Structure 1
Amino acid sequence: MIPNTFRSVIAKRLSGPVGSSQRLQWISIAALVIVLALMWLLTWQRLRAEAALLEKNAELQQRSLAAIIAENLAQVVDRSRLMAVTVDHSADEDQSSASARLTSMLASDRIFLRLALYDSALNRQSSSSPFADGPEIKAFLQRVGNSTDDLLATDADVQVGPLLKENAWQVPLLVSAPNGHPPQSGYLLAMLDLGYFLQLYRNIDMGTTGSIHILGLDGVEIAEARPEGLSLSQQPRRLPQFAPANSSEGLWRGVLPGHEGEQLARFQRVERAPFIVAVSRGMQEIHSNGSSLRVWGILGSLSFILAAAAWGLVRSTRRQQTLLEALHASDEEKRELIVHLESETTRAMTLASFDHLTGLHNRRMFNEIAASHLEGARRSRKHYMLMYLDLDRFKLINDTLGHHVGDKLLRAMSERLRSNVRSSDVVGRMGGDEFAVLITSLDRPEDMDALASKLVAQLSLPYLDIDGHEIKASPSVGIASFPRDGHDVTTLCRHADAAMYESKRMGRGRFTYYNASQNPTNDRILQLERQLPIAIDKDELVLHFQPKVDLADYRITGLEALVRWQHPDHGLVYPGDFIASAEKSGLIVQLGDWVMKACCIQQAQWKAQGIPRVPLAFNVSPRQLRDGSLATKIAQLLQDHDLSPGDLEIEITENCLVEPVDQAVKVLEDLRKLGIRIGLDDFGSGFSSLSQIRDLPISTVKIDRSFINDIRSHKDVGVIVTSIITLAHGLQMRVVAEGVELMDQLVQLKMAGCDEVQGYFLSRPVHSAEAEKLLVQATIVPT
């Protein structure tokens, strides 16, 4: 806002005596007139100098071009002389040999169209190609023959004939062909392709009025080349101004026949050839390349601007009120700019504090707000809890349905989460599919159980119409208590995260409180992850085997190899504790290679001991399927251990069929061609269907244990299992049910037509010694 005192000062300065103002105006106008007169005078002188320079540059350009064309034309004539000498020295050859020589020389020089050799009486002896001399050529030869005596008295060994238009514009050159036998032995007639010669200069910029003239020594124009092409007049034109008697080159200015306006021409006589070359260009075009119009335009614009400035000066006394209004408008504009900047600052703070996808607090803002709440909690008797949530199998949803579906699911989950906590609680997205909630001011710690149970139940309900999909996703929740599990946000988040991973290990879709045994610094899982590479190298891994039993006769039809870790400190470690970390770290490929080799070694031992063998199945990870040499590796292992492809069976999960599947399908086809059976493990736990896998080289489908667990308690699950079995049989696939733990499950599966079963009810996974007994026993009859 401009102060009133400042406005009054401006108004006083703008209001001076009228006489003084008028004198200032007249002085300014006089100075303006003088400046404009000087500017116009200097501009006129400059443009005159520029016009002279343009003419000089045009003259130099035309002189250079005329010299180049003259030199090239002289070289052409010299080549015709050389051809004449070469042919004449071979005059003793027969006519066919001479014609062949002429054809050979013509092929090496495109500037000539035809060559013909004549004797001293101008009778043709041979030619490069069969053709008849036209009337123009005959007249030209007769004229030369009549003037033979005059030619012998001069050094003019090259005669130029009239321009001919047959297949091309041609100029005959008749060259004397001496061979040392006086007075002369004959002539070489070379048909110069004038159109081709002048075509060599078509890319030279000569403007729209530029021309190249080829003349004889008498000034008669042979041809004229313009930008639009070769120009020929009906009657030969004589241009005597280009044929001075005692000058080999010169500059001429005037009007040429067939041209409009004055022309500037540079001409030069061709050395060693009877030609004159002239290059011309219109004077109007030469001067049009200058900048006179642009300069006059700029000068006129500048004059107008100065005149307008003077007019503004005359009216300056009337602009006082306008100036004050402009100052006021500027003040308003600044005020609006300040408001806009404040709005942008608020928006920037919002973007820096909230997650752009879900609208929740981002990690930084959540930590700041939670830290502020914890400061107040130190002086409060209330209880504070920090929850860490993670969506189970979210990566699978992203990989199968796309990241845009995953983003929509995260937004729906965040809205549901926000609506199921209190307004005093702090909710934030920590990154990916991880969320944190600070529960504030609980009266009793036990109240957390009800709240956590409610959140897990609500977040586990199906998410309807997520981009046309109905998605069921459950959260795994970890809870840390303040101040028991930590005195700051960072420690509480770390401990809640550890408790959340414990929920995942215990089956997902649940909540777990943190305890000291889950401290990441002493976390058993982290230790196992660090020690796994060493365990593979030291061969600390072992295989356990679980049989597959045919429901028709309870015969053992195969074994599934399950890897275990015989840890020196922790004892037998199951794959749930190290497979996931192997996937993340990339060790799954090295681990899978160990399992393949161990299976082959075990089968080879049983073969050597004479123990009955059945196919030994092992799992292959998606990373292994991306290896194009997997089939080659397995073939080499079979050969090294003297096994057949029927001794092994590959099992893959639905994760292996996530887009893109081209590489996985190619590897599976290579394995099928090798003779190895392929099974689809955990069918129904992902997003694939039988219609999607019908074209894949899969021979066995294993129904996921989640269906088997519910087959007794949920009637619709039994219908789903029966449908899977029926459809798989229709696709010529065998069906294996895994996770069978009860007799009721076994009975229902047999009634549904299931082929094979696998589970604790028949046999737990056993070590190799127990597996040998089962193989010898051959059957497992349920009791």
Structure 2
Amino acid sequence: MGATGSIFILGLDGIEIAEARPEGLSLSQQPRHLPQFAPVNASEGLWRGVLPGSEGKQLARFQRVERAPFIVVVSRGIQEIHSSHGDSSLRVWGILGSLSLILTGAAWGLVRSTRRQQTLLEALRASDEEKHGLIMRLESEKSRAMTLASYDHLTGLHNRRMFNELVASHLEGARRSRKHYMLMYLDLDRFKLINDSLGHHVGDKLLHAVSERLRTSVRSADVVGRMGGDEFAVLVTGLEQPQDMDALASKLVAQLSLPYPDIDGHEIQVSPSAGIACFPRDGHDVTTLCRHADAAMYESKRMGRGRFTYYDASLNPAQDRAIQLERQLPKAIDNDELVLHFQPKVNLANYRISGMEALVRWQHPEFGLVYPNDFIAMAEESGLIVALGDWVMKACCAQQARWKAQGIPLVPLAFNVSPMQLRDGSLATKIMQLLHDHGLSPGDLELEITESCLVEPIGQAIKVLEDLRKLGIRIGLDDFGSGFSSLSQIRDLPISTIKIDRSFINGIRSKTDVGVIVTSIITLAHGLQMRVVAEGVELMDQLVQLKMAGCDEVQGYFLSRPVPSAEAQKLLIQATIIPS
């Protein structure tokens, strides 16, 4: 009951009977009347107020005892109650404060953890998005790379690698089929001439037009590819009879030979030469079929172009060699497989070397040294003669520059120029640039043209030759007498030298009329202020007769065969060649 508590026992009328305090129990000598605890209708309750004998307000609880005629009242000072509960309240508030701090810390930690997780999730999501974007880019790049690796960028057809893979796949199926498969190679005739004369952009547009026409002319089951340059290939699949190929090949040749009306403002007509190899008769694998179709294609070119030819296993080795040379000549020019040999011209007045003629050879990796007779004609037919001529010009200038740098006395170095090169109005500019680049003078070079340059329309050729003469470059007419030109035709041309064809020199000893013709040519040429060179001199008798006829210079095996640059250098240092 605490220090201020007390217990009262009252009668039912509210009269005090006894009182218990912390000091002990006492009976009331002077009973007090406490009516507030004797309500009429209540058996128990709470009361707040001042009790007799107590200090301050009390909080009392009273209850009527069942089956007994008295009421029990228990009281305690309100201040003491508050005091005891205050300590508890402080403890509670302390506990609540601690819990609040703990909860606040936990909540802050939870919020921080949540935010960190959210940040991590966002970073993870961003990383996933970045990875997804990277994967998409990689897939796109992979797809683009596959496209670039599989298709020709110019025509959109399969390139060589993809075409060969598709052919190999089809041949696997063909081995289990009774149907026939044909591989066709097509090459555009004289395409290089179109490229060189109209420009590469026109050539590219023509190739695109050819590819579109080729694509629409074959069946959907067939495979079409561009093998490089102006060469295409078609795998014809699932033919019922081998003879069915004739109709398809004829259709392709006819379609591709029709005019192309608007190629950058030009109407161009070009024909294909096609070669066909049959699986499995002509080969069991892609490499063999391609090689045989290629050989048949070049056979078509030799047989007149604008046609198709089936591979014939009886093609002789010489034909096979010619096929390989024609196919490999463009790479030979690009890869510097060509070399120059040099044959001296000797002045008959003093037997000093007065000039050199550069003669091109092909140092073939398989066939050894190939001579011009084996590849010049095919270069002219294929349009490569311009590229070949440009290579010779550059090689001559480079060789003269090397000799000059070594202190070797220079003589004019002559080289042949083709009719197609003379159609190039910038030829003089090109040569002048080469001379400038190599530190040479115009007198260090001499150009030789053939009579074929004078048979064709010569207006452009004469203009180019005039430009060259104005630069100080001497011009010679090679193989004079082998064609239809005469001195009267060439007297107004910018020519300073005439080379008498070897066919006259061969007969000068045995035929009197030939000797007379040679003497007349020399006399008339001198009258036109032209020097005369006799080529193909192989005997002392020929040399003597030419000297007696007044010939200025000679060249031929009797004095020196064409030699490599190292031996030509020795001849230049030697300076003279005395006949023996």
Q: TM-score range by the shorter chain?
A: 0.3 to 0.5
TM-score (normalizing by structure 2): 0.46
Rg (Cα) greater in structure: 2
